[in-house]
Amino acid sequence: MSRWEALHDLMRNWSAAAGMAIIAAILVVALAGPLLTPHDPLMPAPLQRLQGPSSAHPFGTDSLGRDILSRVIGGARISILIGVISVTISLLPGTLLGLLAGYFGRWIDSLIMRCMDMLLAFPAILLAIFITAVLEPNLTNTMIAVGIVYIPHYARIVRASVLSLKQQLFVQAVGHLGGGHVRILLRHVLPNCIPPIIVYATLGMGTAVLQAAALGFLGLGAQPPSPEWGAMLSEGRQYIQIAPHVAAFPGAAILLLVLGFNLFGDGLRDVLDPSLRSQ
Amino acid sequence: MDRSLLRAEDLVMHYPAKTGGRLGRSGKVVKAVDGVNLAVQPGEVFGLVGESGCGKSTLGRLLLRLEAPTAGRVLFDGQDLSGFDRGRLKRFRRQAQIIYQDPYSALNPRQRVGRIIGEPLEIHGIGTPAQRQERVAELLQVVGLRPGQAVRYPHEFSGGQRQRIVIARALALNPRLILADEPVSALDVSIQAQVINLLEELKARFGLTYIFISHDLSVVEHISDRIAVMYLGRLVELAEREVFYQRPLHPYAQALLSAAPIPDPDAPRRRQILKGDVPSPINPPAGCTFHPRCPHQMPVCAEERPVLREVAPGRWVACHLY
Amino acid sequence: MSTGPVLDIRELTTRFDTRRGPVTAVDRFSLNLAAGETMGLVGESGCGKSVTALSVMRLLPRPAGRIVGGQIFFKGKDLAALPESQMRRIRGNEISMIFQEPLTSLNPVYTVGFQIVEAVRRHRRMDRRAAREEAVRMLSLVGMPEPAARMEDYPHQLSGGMQQRVMIAMALSCRPAVMIADEPTTALDVTIQAQILDLMNRLKAEIGMAVMLITHDLGVVAETCQRVAVMYTGRIVEAADVRTLFRRPAHPYTVGLFQSLPQIGGRRGRLRPIPGAVPSLLRLPPGCAFQERCFRSDAQCRQDPPWTSVGAEHWVRCWHPMEA
């Protein structure tokens, strides 16, 4: 299937299209950030604290009087950054390890996969908490922690792809022609592993955002006064009874972004998954 | 004086068997190739036939040193391949190439065809990119495709055309020997004929030597000069094409030939139906591995393994009947 | 024939909805099958022979594939119009089918014995013990060595030839009137193929069923079939009894097929392949689908060729059939 056909399929798949629309919208908001915020997201205004949604403050204000809409917009940038960077941190070493394990097999495979199993044995959130607690709790370390936690997932996926690719004649053929391992891995194996990586990475961005939000909620992520959505959720928790909007809007934002990534990722999988491809 | 291009001496390939149950070694061995001697002469088409599990594909891989044998040696142009280091082995690859059975998995679906055909040249550092492109165009024409198709992807071609691309890639390095492992088995009948004709043309034009592996007797008979029959890892008969098809000597070869369906409703059926299935290469029968199914079984067959002997000039059989 | 045909297919047309548009995989297919005869359906890959079999069995993949025209008369009923509940009584019972890859047709997690017993009990009222005995009888009928022991084996423990025998045993267990065999020996070694073909010939005679044998191998056709139909891009292009087809093929495609076969004991030298390749079903030329590759085609071939008789029981779909 050519790349154009694949793109065309993607557009026709409603979940992918919806997902893309959501992500695109949030991306625009994130990029345009400072231009869109009606108020300064960081400026406290104690006289206007905990006001409900109004025309001046469409999302209301929080406990320090800050405009929630502006903070949500500001947080968009942070969340997307979290998604992209965490996934990159997982993807690069994970792919490399999966390639090596799958291709060389035997003791290398055992060694790598047992290490991956050890990482996988920990619940993701626990591991992330541990890492951020050991390092200083801040946004960067949150991204690193979430990134590390998901390395084994990519390693497994890539390894599975590599194992099946090793059986393909065209991979063996390169060796028969005199090609070496590096050529085989980089030119032939890796490019054919990419579809599952793309799908998983897209879905993984949503997961990363959620995990970071969870860490933020626990106070281990971005520190105040940063408008990270998870931290905002945490703040809003105390006021759930009297001012639910403080938690509701950041919560909805998280939901929307993760939904967008999931829909898009599902659509991508439908398109890229060869078993669903008709001739 | 030995003028053979490729010679195999007492080749053996045993794999540890993965029989279920205990972890690790169970001590059992799959005797895929169990003592093969043969010599391929320059310029000939050496046909290798046998049914599934007989070891012909494994033998092919051993002959081109795609795997190292458990025992025995292979000589190319008089040189022992087992003594080759990585560099020499890589240079050897320029002299001996392979065509595969499955044209669908033999080409990287993400590479353009021109890149695929030119890759051997890249690997061996031959020519500048421009020169390589010219050579690719030349090769495409040689196999009957258009040079403009070099920018296409494999999925845009039919099975027969993909096989031509595989052939073009094999020819890129100007090899002297080509191992064709079931090259037409996956193709439709009318396309098979096209590819067989192409292979014959290329052989004449470039002075190639072929080792042609197949289970299809009519294809092998058409293209080969000499034919070797394998059963459970051993050669049971080796003869020139015409005498083989007129009068096969080994009972297994006879059964094989008589089993092949003939596209002629009135042809006399000299049907020899063999009993039973092919035994497993893990536990081959003692003595002559064929004896339990052989209609001419004699007491000695269960005890002593027959050796491949030349019973007439150019005719070799491994059977106690002779 | 004094009695009518047991299976009478008329103008069967099957269409698939693909991403790139509808594809007519079987186009106005008409054939009849008499009791006790083996009819060969020959063609290369993509010619629609398997789809025809699936259409008769009403096993087309839904919703993509459907029968859009024609009738399939079996014992007075039109199978194409039958509700699924009634079709289920016929499928596997009065008309059964065996496939190319026995390993994918047999359930890997149940023993062979269980599967045959299941087939028997599904269609014939038998208690478990009687069904078991019947299953063992069927296995020995198909030449399985040590049939009682084999009942406890799982499919993967058996060789290809034995698996195919199990499939045949299952297909025959209900004494069907018609058996459709789709490339039953293609995946088998040639010596095993000989055994299975021999078995099928014997059983057919014993049970008196009609067989539709689908294959691409003309040698198999010559050895087993009484009548043959040649298919190309979904249409039958020639139909005749087997001797006539092999001696006096009339359709240029059939002629081309014979000429492209390497034959044991035949002449050496270049084979005469049919030039070009089978056109995609999405881009068929108007009229005769074979015209672009045909050495006898002309402008008239752009019209749909008529179904012409060129001899006794010998029909061709061609404007320019070969002369006798």
**Mind listing the pLDDT tens digit for each residue in B159-211?**
899 999 999 999 999 999 999 999 998 888 888 999 999 999 999 999 999 99
Q: Which residue has the tokens 């009606």?
A: A38
pLDDT in the model for residue C294: 92
Given strand B315-317, what is the order of strands in its sheet? Answer: B96-99, B177-181, B209-214, B45-49, B226-231, B234-240, B315-317, B309-312
pLDDT in the model for residue A277: 39
Q: Which residues pair with B231 in a beta bridge?
A: B234
Within 8 A of A175 by CB-CB distance, chain B residues are 66
Within 8 A of A171 by CB-CB distance, chain B residues are 108
The minimum CA-CA distance between B111 and chain A, rounded to whole Å, is 9
Task: Identify the chains in contact with A, defined as 3+ C-beta pairs within 8 A.
Answer: B, C
**Average pLDDT of span B31-50:** 93
DSSP string, C189-201: -HHHHHHHHHHHH
**Mind listing the pLDDT tens digit for each residue in B126-165?**
999 999 999 999 999 999 999 999 999 998 898 899 999 9
pLDDT in the model for residue A276: 36
Interatomic CA distance for residues B191 and C259, integer angstroms = 12
Element of type H or E holding C232: strand C227-232
The minimum CA-CA distance between A182 and chain B, rounded to whole Å, is 11
**Mind listing the pLDDT tens digit for each residue in B249-282?**
999 999 998 888 888 888 877 677 787 777 778 8
ipTM of the complex: 0.84
Please give the structure tokens belonging to residue C174: 């209900």
pLDDT at A213 over 60: yes
Angle made by CA atoms C179, C44, C178, in degrees to the nearest 5:
10
**Average pLDDT of span C309-319:** 91
**Average pLDDT of span A81-90:** 92
Beta strands in C89-156 (DSSP E): 95-98
Are the C-beta atoms of C187 and C160 separated by less than 8 Å? yes
Residue C319's pLDDT band, with cuts at 50, 70 and 90, is very high
What is the Cα Rg of chain C in Å? 20
pLDDT in the model for residue B275: 77
| pLDDT higher at A257 or A40 | A257
Interatomic CA distance for residues B220 and C207, integer angstroms = 38
Interatomic CA distance for residues B39 and A50, integer angstroms = 92
The share of chain A scoring above pLDDT 70, in percent, equals 94
Interatomic CA distance for residues C133 and C116, integer angstroms = 11
Angle made by CA atoms A151, A154, A159, in degrees to the nearest 5:
125
pLDDT in the model for residue B280: 78
pLDDT at B306 over 60: yes
Residue closest to B199 by CA, chosen among B189, B188, B210, B185: B210
Residue B18's pLDDT band, with cuts at 50, 70 and 90, is low
**CB-based contact B98 A176, cutoff 8 Å:** yes
Within 8 A of B218 by CB-CB distance, chain C residues are 261-264
In B, residues 44-83, which contact C (CB 8 Å cutoff)? Answer: 51-52
Are the C-beta atoms of B59 and B33 separated by less than 8 Å? yes
Element of type H or E holding A88: helix A68-104
pLDDT at B85 over 50: yes
* B57 interface with A at CB cutoff 8 Å: no
Are the C-beta atoms of A243 and A12 separated by less than 8 Å? no
Spell out the SS3 assignment of B102-170: CCCCCCCCCCCHHHHHHHHHHHCCCCCHHHHHHHHHHHHHHCCCCHHHHHCCHHHCCHHHHHHHHHHHH
Please tell me what DSSP assigns to residue B285: P
Interface mutation target, options C50, C196, C271, C281, chain B, most CBs of B under 10 Å: C271
Give Cα separations from A73 to A248, B37, B286, C316 (angstroms).
Answer: 14, 77, 81, 74
* A278 interface with C at CB cutoff 8 Å: yes
Residue C230's pLDDT band, with cuts at 50, 70 and 90, is very high
- Over the range C281-304, which residues count as b (16 or more CB within 10 Å of their CB) and which as e? beebeebbbbbebbeebeeebeee
**Mind listing the pLDDT tens digit for each residue in A154-200?**
999 999 999 999 989 999 999 999 989 999 999 999 988 988 898 88
Secondary structure of residue B270 in the 3-state scheme = coil
**Average pLDDT of span B78-102:** 91
Angle made by CA atoms C79, C97, C174, in degrees to the nearest 5:
85
Residue C267's pLDDT band, with cuts at 50, 70 and 90, is low
Interatomic CA distance for residues A156 and A95, integer angstroms = 9
pLDDT at A55 over 60: yes
The minimum CA-CA distance between C187 and chain A, rounded to whole Å, is 20
pLDDT in the model for residue B24: 55
Half-sphere exposure of A242 (CA within 13 A, CB side): 8
A178, A188, A192 ranked by CB distance to B124: nearest: A178
For residue B288, the Cα-to-chain-centroid distance in whole angstroms is 23
**Mind listing the pLDDT tens digit for each residue in C69-88?**
999 999 888 999 999 999 98
pLDDT at A230 over 90: no
Residue C282's pLDDT band, with cuts at 50, 70 and 90, is confident
Q: Backbone dihedral region of A133: left (phi > 0), alpha (psi from -120 to 50 degrees) or beta?
A: alpha
| pLDDT higher at A35 or C177 | C177
> Phi/psi at A229 (nearest 5 deg)?
-60, -35
Residue closest to B54 by CA, chosen among B250, B296, B249, B200: B250
- Over the range B253-263, which residues count as b (16 or more CB within 10 Å of their CB) and which as e? bbbbbbbbbbb
Least confidently predicted of A92-101, B21-30, C94-103: B21-30
Interatomic CA distance for residues A159 and A149, integer angstroms = 17
Interatomic CA distance for residues B201 and C15, integer angstroms = 41
DSSP string, C243-301: HHHHHS--SHHHHHHHHT---TT---S---PPSS-PPPTTSPPSS-TTGGG-TT--GGG
* A2 interface with C at CB cutoff 8 Å: no
Residue B20's pLDDT band, with cuts at 50, 70 and 90, is low
The share of chain C scoring above pLDDT 70, in percent, equals 98
Please tell me what DSSP assigns to residue C216: S
DSSP string, A6-28: HHHHHHH-HHHHHHHHHHHHHHH
Residue closest to C56 by CA, chosen among C109, C14, C89: C14
pLDDT in the model for residue A279: 29
Secondary structure of residue C114 in the 3-state scheme = helix
Q: Which residues pair with C180 in a beta bridge?
A: C97, C212
pLDDT at C320 over 60: yes
Please tell me what DSSP assigns to residue B67: S
Interatomic CA distance for residues B114 and B238, integer angstroms = 40
pLDDT at A220 over 50: yes
Interatomic CA distance for residues C12 and C10, integer angstroms = 5
Interatomic CA distance for residues B282 and B28, integer angstroms = 7
Are the C-beta atoms of C233 and C45 separated by less than 8 Å? no
* C86 interface with A at CB cutoff 8 Å: no
**Average pLDDT of span B71-98:** 92
DSSP string, B38-53: EEE-TT-EEEEE--TT
Please give the structure tokens belonging to residue B128: 């500048």
Please give the structure tokens belonging to residue A104: 């060389």
Residue closest to B197 by CA, chosen among B223, B177, B216, B163: B223
Residue closest to C287 by CA, chosen among C270, C299, C305: C305
Within 8 A of A279 by CB-CB distance, chain C residues are 18
Secondary structure of residue B70 in the 3-state scheme = coil
**CB-based contact B93 A169, cutoff 8 Å:** no
Q: How many CB pairs under 8 A join B and C?
A: 122
**Average pLDDT of span C311-320:** 91
pLDDT at B311 over 50: yes
The share of chain C scoring above pLDDT 90, in percent, equals 50
Task: Identify the chains in contact with B, defined as 3+ C-beta pairs within 8 A.
Answer: A, C
Average pLDDT over chain B, rounded to whole?
90
pLDDT at B83 over 90: no
pLDDT in the model for residue C1: 41
Residue C2's pLDDT band, with cuts at 50, 70 and 90, is very low
B110, B119, B123 ranked by CB distance to A192: nearest: B110
Bridge pairing between strands B71-76 and B6-16? antiparallel
Interatomic CA distance for residues C258 and C242, integer angstroms = 13
Q: Which residue has the tokens 């520190």?
A: A223
How many Cβ atoms are within 10 Å of B269's Cβ, its own excluded? 11
pLDDT in the model for residue C3: 64
Element of type H or E holding B311: strand B309-312
**Which sign, positive or negative, has the C-alpha torsion C278, C280, C285, C288?**
positive
pLDDT in the model for residue A273: 61
Angle made by CA atoms B309, B313, B316, in degrees to the nearest 5:
30
